[in-house]
C-alpha cells in the first residue's frame, strides 16, 4: 500500500473561507454558552469576522494562486465577487437583529448560517472544479433553505423555505445531470481541464453530450440566479422569507450564481460560446421582460422587488451574452452596486414594517417621504438606482452591461434591455408616487433606527452614489478582475 501523498496545500487560497467558517463555528459555540435575550452581539461578532475575512480576501488581490490540485483558485475575479458577498452579508447582518427581535424569532444561529452561506458563495466564486462549485452551491443552498424558513413561527416563512427547498433540490438534479454529462464528455470535472480537453480533442457543438451537459448546467445556474423560466420560486421565497434574508438572498446568492455561471461557461466552455450565447440571449430577454412586466402589477413591495431582482438578473445576463470584457466587467460592477441598492431598499422596507403585518403593500408607503424625509430620500436614491437613472450606480452598471452587448453587436438585446428599463421605471416610480404624492393614511409603526441600521443605510447610500458619480475606480477594478 502506497502512502497517501498529500498534495501541496496552499492555505492562503482558502484562508478567507477558513476564517469565516471558524468564525461561524465560534459563533455557534458562543451562542450556546452565552445566554442572553439580545443576540445583537453575535451580529457584531460576525461583522468582525466578515471584516477580518474581507482583509484576508483583499490581500489576495493581484496575486493569483491555485490550491488543492486545482479545485480552487484565488484570482481577482473570485476576490471581487467575494467582496460583494461579504458586503452583502455584512449589510444584511446589520439589518437582521432588529428584525428578528421584532418578529420574535431571535435565534443566534442565524449569524453562523449567514456566514456559512457566505462561505458557500465564496467557494462557488473561487471553485475551479465542478465539485467545488457544486458543494459550494449546496452549502449556500442548504443555508439559504434554512434562512428562508428561519422564522418558523410564520407560515409564510415556512412555506418559503419549503418551496425553496423542493425547487432548489429539483434544480440541483438538473445541474448535477449536466455536470455528469459534461464529465462524461470530457472526462474531467476541472474547468481548466475541460476547456483544455475540448480544445485539444476538437470537440465542438456537434457533441450532443457536451451540449446537453452545458444546457443542463445552464438551467441549474439559471435557477440560482433566478432567470426565466427558472425564476418562479423567487417571488414566493422572497416574499415569505424574513426580510433581511430576502435582502441577502436577492444579492449574494445571485452574485454567486453568476460567478459560477461565468466561470464555468467562460473558462470551461468558451468553445461552445456560439451555442450558449443564444441560449443566454433568450434567457436574458425572457428574464428581463417577465421580471419587469410582472413587477408592474405588484402591490406588495417585497414581491415587487423580487420580480425586480429577476429583471436585474436579466440585465446581468445581457452582459453575459456580450461575453466580452466590458460586459463581464459590467456584471461584476452591477452585482456590486446591486448589493448596495437592493439591500438598502430592503432595509427601508424593514423599517416601515410592523410585527406580524409587515406593511409591505406599496400603498402603505403613502406619505412616507414626509414623515421620514431622510429615509425617504434614501429610498428614492435606491429606487432610482434600481431603475437605472443617473447619477446612481445602477445606471453606470446598466450602462456597462448594455455597452458590452452593443460592443459585441447585440444591438437588439440592448434595445430590449433599455425598453425593459423604461418599463421598470414605472413600478419604481409607483413607490415614490405613494411616498411623496399621496397623503399618509396611517401611522408608521416601527421606524426605530438603530446604529446598525444607520450604518447599513449609510453604506448603501454611499455605495450607490459614489460608484454612481465616480465609477472610474470601481470599473477599473472590475476590469482587472476579469480572467480574460
Q: Which of residues 224-263 bind other proteins (CB under 8 A)?
A: 228-230, 232-233, 235-237, 239-240
By CB under 8 A, which span of 34-42, 359-367, 415-423, 443-451 interacts with other proteins? 415-423
**322/328 Cα distance (integer angstroms):** 8
Using the minimum distance from each CB to other proteins, give the nearer residue, 116 or 261.
116
Identify the H or E element spanning 136.
helix 130-148
In angstroms, give the least distance from the CB of 69 to other proteins.
5
Question: Does 186 participate in binding other proteins (rule CB under 8 A)?
Answer: yes
Residue selected from 260, 351, 478, 481 as contacting other proteins according to rule CB under 8 A: 478
Q: Which of 314, 307, 308, 316 is nearest to 335 (CA)?
A: 316
Distance between CA atoms of 3 and 47, rounded to whole angstroms?
42
Other CB atoms within 10 Å distance of the CB of residue 287: 29
User: How many CA atoms lie less than 13 Å away from 146 in the CB half-sphere?
Assistant: 15
Question: What is the Cα–Cα distance from 346 to 379, expressed in whole angstroms?
Answer: 9
**Minimum gap (Å) between residue 60 Cβ and other proteins:** 16
- Least distance in angstroms from the C-beta of 66 to other proteins: 11
Identify the bridge partners of residue 66 per DSSP, sorted by sequence position: 73
Q: Footprint of other proteins on residues 377-396 (CB under 8 A)?
A: 384, 389-391, 395
Instruction: Tell me how far, at minimum, the Cβ of 351 lies from other proteins, in Å.
Output: 20
Task: Decide if 339 contacts 385 (C-beta within 8 A).
Answer: no
Q: Does 56 bind other proteins (CB under 8 A)?
A: no
Query: Least distance from C-beta 180 to other proteins, angstroms?
Result: 4
Instruction: Give the contacts of 383 (CB within 8 A, at least 6 positions apart).
Output: 345, 428, 429, 431, 432
Q: Which of 77, 81, 99, 150 is the binder for other proteins (CB under 8 A)? A: 150
Which of 421, 431, 414 is closest to 394 using CA atoms?
421
Q: How far apart are CA 309 and CA 300, in angstroms?
A: 14
Q: What is the closest distance, in whole angstroms, from the C-beta atom of residue 48 to other proteins in the complex?
A: 20
55 contacts other proteins (rule: CB under 8 A): no
Q: Which C-beta is closer to other proteins: that of 107 or that of 450? A: 107
Site for other proteins in 303-362 (CB under 8 A): 303, 325-326, 329
Cα–Cα distance between 340 and 86 in angstroms, integer? 12
Site for other proteins in 457-476 (CB under 8 A): 470-472, 475-476
Verify binding: residue 281, other proteins, rule CB under 8 A: no
The region of 51-59, 247-255, 297-305, 441-449 touching other proteins under the rule CB under 8 A is: 297-305
Which three cell numbers, joined as nine digits, stand for 106?
431571535
Amino acid at each position: 500500500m502506497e502512502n497517501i501523498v498529500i498534495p501541496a496545500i496552499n492555505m492562503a487560497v482558502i484562508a478567507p473561507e477558513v476564517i469565516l467558517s471558524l468564525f461561524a463555528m465560534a459563533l455557534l459555540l458562543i451562542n450556546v454558552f452565552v445566554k442572553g435575550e439580545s443576540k445583537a452581539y453575535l451580529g457584531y461578532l460576525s461583522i468582525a469576522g466578515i471584516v477580518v475575512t474581507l482583509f484576508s480576501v483583499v490581500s489576495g488581490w493581484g496575486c493569483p494562486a491555485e490550491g488543492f490540485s486545482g479545485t480552487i483558485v484565488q484570482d481577482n475575479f473570485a476576490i471581487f465577487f467575494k467582496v460583494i458577498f461579504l458586503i452583502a452579508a455584512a449589510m444584511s447582518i446589520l439589518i437582521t437583529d432588529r428584525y428578528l427581535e421584532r418578529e420574535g424569532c431571535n435565534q443566534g444561529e442565524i449569524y453562523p448560517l449567514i456566514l456559512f452561506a457566505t462561505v458557500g458563495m465564496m467557494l462557488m466564486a473561487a471553485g475551479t472544479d465542478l465539485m467545488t462549485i457544486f458543494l459550494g452551491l449546496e452549502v449556500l443552498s442548504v443555508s439559504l433553505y434554512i434562512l428562508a424558513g428561519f422564522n418558523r413561527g410564520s407560515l409564510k416563512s415556512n412555506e418559503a423555505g419549503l418551496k425553496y427547498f423542493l425547487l432548489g433540490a429539483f434544480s440541483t438534479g438538473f445541474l448535477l445531470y449536466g455536470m455528469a454529462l459534461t464529465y462524461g464528455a470530457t472526462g474531467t470535472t476541472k474547468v481548466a481541464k475541460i476547456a483544455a480537453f475540448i480544445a485539444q480533442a476538437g470537440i465542438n457543438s456537434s457533441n450532443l453530450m457536451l451540449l446537453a451537459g452545458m444546457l443542463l448546467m445552464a438551467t441549474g445556474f439559471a435557477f440560482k440566479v433566478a432567470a426565466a423560466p427558472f425564476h418562479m420560486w423567487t417571488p414566493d421565497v422572497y416574499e415569505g422569507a424574513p426580510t433581511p434574508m430576502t435582502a441577502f438572498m436577492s444579492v449574494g446568492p445571485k452574485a454567486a450564481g453568476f460567478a459560477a455561471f461565468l466561470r464555468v461557461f467562460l473558462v470551461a466552455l468558451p468553445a461552445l460560446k456560439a451555442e450558449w450565447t443564444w441560449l443566454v440571449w433568450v434567457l436574458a430577454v425572457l428574464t428581463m421582460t417577465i421580471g419587469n412586466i410582472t413587477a408592474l402589477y405588484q402591490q406588495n413591495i417585497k414581491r415587487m422587488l423580487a420580480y425586480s431582482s429577476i429583471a436585474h438578473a436579466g440585465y446581468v445576463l445581457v452582459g453575459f451574452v456580450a461575453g466580452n470584457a466590458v460586459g463581464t466587467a459590467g456584471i461584476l460592477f452591477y452585482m456590486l452596486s446591486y448589493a448596495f441598492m437592493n439591500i438598502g431598499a430592503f432595509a427601508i422596507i424593514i423599517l416601515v414594517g410592523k410585527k406580524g403585518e409587515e406593511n409591505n403593500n406599496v400603498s402603505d408607503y403613502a406619505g412616507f417621504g414626509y414623515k421620514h424625509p431622510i429615509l425617504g430620500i434614501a429610498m428614492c436614491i435606491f429606487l432610482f438606482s434600481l431603475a437605472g437613472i443617473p447619477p446612481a450606480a445602477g445606471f453606470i452598471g446598466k450602462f456597462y452591461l448594455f455597452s458590452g452587448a452593443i460592443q459585441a453587436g447585440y444591438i437588439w438585446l440592448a434595445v430590449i434591455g433599455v425598453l425593459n428599463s423604461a418599463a421598470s421605471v414605472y413600478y419604481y416610480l409607483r413607490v415614490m408616487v405613494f411616498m411623496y404624492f399621496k397623503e399618509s393614511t396611517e401611522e408608521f409603526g416601527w421606524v426605530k433606527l438603530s446604529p446598525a441600521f444607520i450604518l447599513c443605510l449609510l453604506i448603501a447610500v454611499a455605495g450607490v452614489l459614489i460608484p454612481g458619480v465616480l465609477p472610474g475606480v470601481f470599473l477599473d477594478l472590475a476590469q482587472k478582475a476579469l480572467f480574460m
